[in-house]
C-alpha cells in the first residue's frame, strides 16, 4: 500500500484511549476556551482524522508564510496550503498554556480539542495579502475563498492539538464520514493495490461517472473511492445528504459490486484551484489512494483559474514531493455522434453542437421547474433524487412566504 505523506504511518491527532480521553476532557472544561471559526474547526477535524499527516497541529506564522511562498514547512515537508488557526480575539489565551478549542458548528459549542499554545502572533495586512494571493492567486473578494480567508482574523494561534471528536460529521453522516485511518483499513481488507480517488462537491452526472470508469480501466486499478466533501460550500451548491444519495444510487446501479467505495471527509471547500488540488492529493495519499483524478477546473470557481492549472501545477513539484500520481482528465461530455461519454480532447472531429452540455445554472433551472434532465446528461435514478430535492425546496419556500 502507498505510504502516507511524509511518514511510514499515519499520525491522526484523535484521542483513542477512552481513559485518557475522559481525563483530558474533564480537565478541558476548566481550561481557557477559544471558539474556532469554521475553517479552523475543519482543519481540526482533518488533523484528528489523519488526513493532514504528518502534521500534528496548527502552523505558526513562519510556517504559514513558508508554505504560502515555497509549499514547504520549516521541517521540510511538502505542504501546499497553510493549516492555520486564525482568530480575531486572543484575550484569555497565553503562550505555554493549554486551551480548549470549541466547535462553532455544533449547538452549545462543545469542546472538540485541546491545544498546547506554542505561539500567538499578529499577521500584518501585508502578510495577509501575501498569503492570500499565494494560496488563491488573487485578492479579489469576489472569490469566495478569498472573501472567507481575509475575514478569519489577524491573530495566528499555533500549537499541537489532541482531538476529541469530529464535530458534526460523524453524527450527521454516520455512513459516509470516514477517517483516513478507516479508509486505509477498508482498502487493505478489500485487497486493493491500485486505487483511484475522485474528489467531488457535486452530485455525479454521466460525465463524472464515465471519468471514474475511464480512470479505473486505463490505470488497471482495483477500485475507485468517490470521496465527497461534507463541509461548507458556497450558496447554491447541493447539500451533502442529497449528493450522497445521488452518488450511492449511481454507484450501486451502474458499477460492478465491490469496485466503488463511497465516503466523505469533513472539510470546508477553499475553491483555491491549483493549490487545493495539491492539498487534495496530500490527503488522498494519506487515505491510501495511489491516483487522484484531476479534471478540468478542479477545485476552481468562476474564471479565476485556467481550465488545466490544477493539472500543470503538479509538473512544477520537486521530485518525491508526493508519491500519489494524478490521472489528468479533459472535460467530458456526451457525444451525440458516438452515443457515449468522451473526453473532448479525444474527439478532435467534434464541434460544440456534437455534445450535450448543460451549465450548472441550466441544470438548476430545469430541476426547479420539474423538467427531467436528459438521460445522456444524468442517470434517471439520479435525476429523480435531485428533482425531489428541488420539489421539497420549492414547498419550503412556499410555506416560508
The Cα 128–Cα 113 span in angstroms is 26
DSSP 316-383: GSPTTS-S-EEEE---EEEETTTTEEEEGGG-TT--GGGEE---HHHHHHHHHTTPPPPTTTS-HHHH
What residues have CB less than 8 Å from 126, skipping those under 6 apart?
A: none
Residue 194, classified by CB atoms within 10 Å of its CB into exposed (0-12), middle (13-18) or buried (19+), is middle
Which triple of cell numbers denotes residue 37? 471559526
Residue 201 falls in the annotated catalytic set: yes
Residue with cell 490544477: 310
Q: Which residues pair with 197 in a beta bridge?
A: 225, 292
Catalytic member of 98, 201, 232, 296: 201
Three-state DSSP class for 184?
helix
Residue with cell 452526472: 205
The Cα 260–Cα 252 span in angstroms is 9
Residue 320 falls in the annotated catalytic set: no
Three-state DSSP class for 238?
coil
The Cα 306–Cα 300 span in angstroms is 9
Q: Quick one: which H or E segment has residue 74?
A: none
Contacts within 8 Å (CB) and 24+ apart, 71-76: 71/278, 71/317, 71/321
Catalytic member of 202, 213, 232, 364: 202
Number of residues written out for the chain: 401
As annotated, the active-site residues are: 201-202
Amino acid at each position: 500500500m502507498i505510504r502516507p505523506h511524509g511518514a511510514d504511518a499515519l499520525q491522526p491527532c484523535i484521542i483513542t484511549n477512552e481513559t485518557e480521553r475522559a481525563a483530558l476532557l474533564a480537565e478541558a472544561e476548566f481550561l481557557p476556551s477559544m471558539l474556532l471559526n469554521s475553517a479552523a474547526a475543519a482543519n481540526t477535524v482533518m488533523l484528528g482524522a489523519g488526513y493532514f499527516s504528518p502534521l500534528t497541529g496548527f502552523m505558526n506564522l513562519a510556517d504559514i508564510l513558508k508554505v504560502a511562498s515555497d509549499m514547504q514547512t520549516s521541517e521540510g515537508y511538502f505542504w501546499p496550503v497553510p493549516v492555520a488557526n486564525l482568530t480575531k480575539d486572543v484575550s484569555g489565551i497565553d503562550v505555554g498554556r493549554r486551551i480548549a478549542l470549541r466547535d462553532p458548528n455544533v449547538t452549545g459549542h462543545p469542546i472538540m480539542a485541546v491545544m498546547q499554545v506554542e505561539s500567538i502572533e499578529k499577521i500584518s495586512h501585508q502578510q495577509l495579502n501575501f498569503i492570500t494571493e499565494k494560496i488563491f492567486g488573487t485578492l479579489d473578494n469576489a472569490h469566495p475563498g478569498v472573501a472567507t480567508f481575509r475575514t478569519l482574523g489577524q491573530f495566528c494561534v499555533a500549537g499541537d492539538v489532541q482531538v476529541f471528536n469530529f464535530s458534526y460529521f460523524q453524527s450527521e453522516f454516520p455512513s459516509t464520514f470516514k477517517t483516513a485511518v478507516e479508509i486505509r483499513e477498508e482498502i487493505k481488507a478489500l485487497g486493493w493495490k491500485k486505487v483511484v480517488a475522485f474528489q467531488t462537491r457535486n452530485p455525479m452526472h454521466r460525465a463524472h461517472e464515465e471519468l471514474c470508469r475511464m480512470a479505473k480501466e486505463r490505470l488497471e486499478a482495483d477500485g475507485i473511492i468517490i470521496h465527497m466533501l461534507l463541509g461548507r460550500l458556497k450558496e447554491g451548491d447541493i447539500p451533502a445528504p442529497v449528493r450522497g444519495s445521488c452518488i450511492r444510487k449511481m454507484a450501486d446501479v451502474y458499477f460492478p459490486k465491490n469496485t466503488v467505495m463511497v465516503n466523505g471527509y469533513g472539510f470546508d471547500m477553499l475553491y483555491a484551484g491549483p493549490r487545493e488540488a495539491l492539498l487534495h492529493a496530500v490527503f488522498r495519499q494519506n487515505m491510501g489512494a495511489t491516483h487522484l483524478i484531476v479534471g478540468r477546473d478542479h477545485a476552481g470557481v468562476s474564471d479565476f483559474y485556467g481550465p488545466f492549472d490544477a493539472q500543470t501545477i503538479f509538473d512544477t513539484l520537486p521530485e518525491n514531493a508526493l508519491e500519489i500520481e494524478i490521472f489528468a482528465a479533459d472535460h467530458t461530455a456526451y457525444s451525440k455522434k458516438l452515443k457515449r461519454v468522451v473526453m473532448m480532447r479525444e474527439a478532435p472531429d467534434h464541434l460544440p453542437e456534437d455534445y450535450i452540455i448543460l451549465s450548472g445554472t441550466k441544470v438548476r433551472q430545469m430541476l426547479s421547474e420539474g423538467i427531467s434532465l436528459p438521460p445522456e446528461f444524468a442517470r434517471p435514478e439520479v435525476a429523480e433524487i435531485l428533482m425531489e430535492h428541488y420539489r421539497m425546496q420549492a414547498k419550503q419556500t412556499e410555506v416560508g412566504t
